[in-house]
Amino acid sequence: MKLVEGRVAIVTGAGRGLGRAHALMLAKHGAKVVVNDLGASAAGIGTDASPAQDVVDEIKAMGGEAVVNGGNAASFTDAKGMVEQAMDTFGNLDIVINNAGILRDRMMVNMTEEEWDSVVTVHLKSTFSVSHHAANIWRSQSKAGTQPDARIINTSSHSGLYCNIGQANYAAAKAGIASFSIVTARELQRYGVTVNALCPRATTRMTEGLREWSEEALNNRKPDWTAALATYLASPDAKDISGRVFETWGYGFTIAESWQHGDTAPASLDPNEIGEGLKVAIGNSKKNAGLNLGEWLDP
């Protein structure tokens, strides 16, 4: 039996890149897939039905089952329709992979309100919207006596964890998704739902051109590495894995550990007495991610 045989999945942003890899990998291992994509540019401009349709055609060509959804995952109404389409077409929903995203990179002082809002909306609101409507289905099933074995797999980013400059909007959204995943893992456990997040280190149209990569690095940045982990997490075998954030690429799957307590400075109600102890505590604590560049840059 295939790893996710008969399970029903929604993948947002599935027309290209990571989303396409997720959809194809899930289908290869037996899942029925709702392939969602607006077909917009990497900056979120325009629409095109063909990328999602092409993925559906690929899945059907290899003997799988899939349907196109052209809705906007960041629309609360469209997200509900996406979940309803899965239920109406395939009779159930087991897996949600929230992958839709765009880039509008700019230094914060030059960033427009629209550039901030669009990136946060596409990444963070779409993750909430689809998860919300799916979770309501699973909660209803659980309360009716049929406990789901369901999965939400979200897409965070290294930028959210390690803070690339020029990506304040993107990093804020992706860090939010990591925290959202941990919180909802706790909330949905009672309904038979696991929630995890992936931080892919992959070469897609959103990351092409950022720098030159060696052939080895390109191979280890193929989206299929991340899709393989997502498909495993979507399987019944991963029912006890929840609330985790994974850094993913061909060099390995690393568990990202959450914020940790550093040193503590003595508290004081007098601001004049705070500085000396605070500076000592800061000196005894690890620097924030990204400030020690040599500790996290790619090999």
In this prediction, residue 158 carries a pLDDT of 85
Domain extent listing, the chain? 8-259, 262-294
Cα–Cα distance between 247 and 268 in angstroms, integer? Answer: 39
CATH number of 8-259: 3.40.50.720
Q: What are residue 256's DSSP bridge partners? A: 245
In this prediction, residue 137 carries a pLDDT of 99
Q: Which of 157, 159, 181, 235 is catalytic?
A: 157
Query: Could you give the angle at which helices 223-233 and 17-28 cross, rounded to 10 degrees?
Result: 50
**Contact 171/114 with Cβ under 8 angstroms?**
no
In this prediction, residue 259 carries a pLDDT of 80
Q: 170 catalytic, yes or no? A: yes
Q: Which of 32, 156, 162, 170 is catalytic?
A: 170
Q: 174 catalytic, yes or no? A: yes
Q: 179 catalytic, yes or no? A: no
In this prediction, residue 139 carries a pLDDT of 99
In this prediction, residue 208 carries a pLDDT of 57
**Which residues of the chain fall short of a pLDDT of 50?**
293-299
Q: Which of 118, 126, 159, 174 is catalytic?
A: 174
In this prediction, residue 297 carries a pLDDT of 44
Q: How many CB atoms lie within 10 A of CB 144?
A: 8
**Contact 105/116 with Cβ under 8 angstroms?**
no
In this prediction, residue 189 carries a pLDDT of 98
